[in-house]
Amino acid sequence: MITKKKIILDWNPPAEVHFKFNVDGSVLGKPEPAGAGGVLRDFNGKILCLFSCHLGCLVSNAAEIWVIKVALGLCISNVNLRGRAISIVNDSKVAVSWVINGDFGSLAHFNIISEIHSNLKILGDVEVIFESRAYNSYVGSLAKMGSNCAGDFVEWGDV
């Protein structure tokens, strides 16, 4: 008998004095209701911000770009995060590549990615990176809540 092992990976913390904002987009079809969710933590794993929101009807790549935009907007809204080292971590290689390289293939995403680039300049020491979905399951649940129109929320802790 063959047994399957499920590997559960813990959250991977950022370097000391850095912040990590794990984000995820979720779409319930193609295109269907989309949502975004995220968790901002410090290097000790302390949760500083949680969010979930509905994005309307989108395709998956658009939802993954929008969630990066939402996270950056939240960082800008909190003056204590400006100039701080923050990693925005997404589990979509395509979305991260589009943001980093500016090669997004469709003019439909031009305005969103332009706004992301502007927000990155405002914040300073912020990077957008890809990390496997295995590290992002909690954030995926928040994104699915947004897809299901379960109610938008943002909750801040002490930053």
pLDDT of the chain, 159 residues: tens digit per residue? 565 554 445 677 787 889 999 999 999 877 789 999 999 999 999 999 999 999 999 999 999 999 999 999 999 999 999 889 999 999 999 999 999 987 776 788 888 999 999 999 999 899 999 988 766 678 889 999 999 887 799 999 987
Q: What is the CATH number of the domain that holds 48?
A: 3.30.420.10
Q: Is residue 83 part of a domain?
A: yes
Q: Calculate helix-pair angle for 110-123, 93-101, nearest 10 degrees.
A: 70
Residue closest to 150 by CA, chosen among 66, 60, 54, 70: 54
Q: Is residue 10 domain-resident?
A: no
Give domain status of residue 42, yes or no: yes
How far the first Cα of the chain sits from its last, in Å, is: 51
The number of domains in the chain is 1
Question: Locate tokens 């969103």: which residue?
Answer: 112
Is 3 within the bounds of a domain? no
Note whether 24 and 55 are within 8 A (CB).
no
Is 68 contained in some domain?
A: yes
- 49 belongs to a structural domain: yes
Residue 98 CA to residue 27 CA, distance in Å, equals 19
5 lies in some domain: no
In a domain, 107, yes or no: yes
- Can you give the pTM of this predicted structure? 0.88
The widest CA-to-CA distance across the chain, in whole angstroms, is 57
Q: Which two tokens stand for residue 22?
A: 């794990």
Domain span including residue 97: 19-156
Three-state SS across the chain? CCCCCCCCCCCCCCCCCCEEEEEEEEECCCCEEEEEEEEEEECCCCEEEEEEEEEEEECHHHHHHHHHHHHHHHHHHCHHHCCCCEEEEECCHHHHHHHHHCCCCCHHHHHHHHHHHHHHHHHCCEEEEECCHHHCHHHHHHHHHHHCCCCCEEEECCC
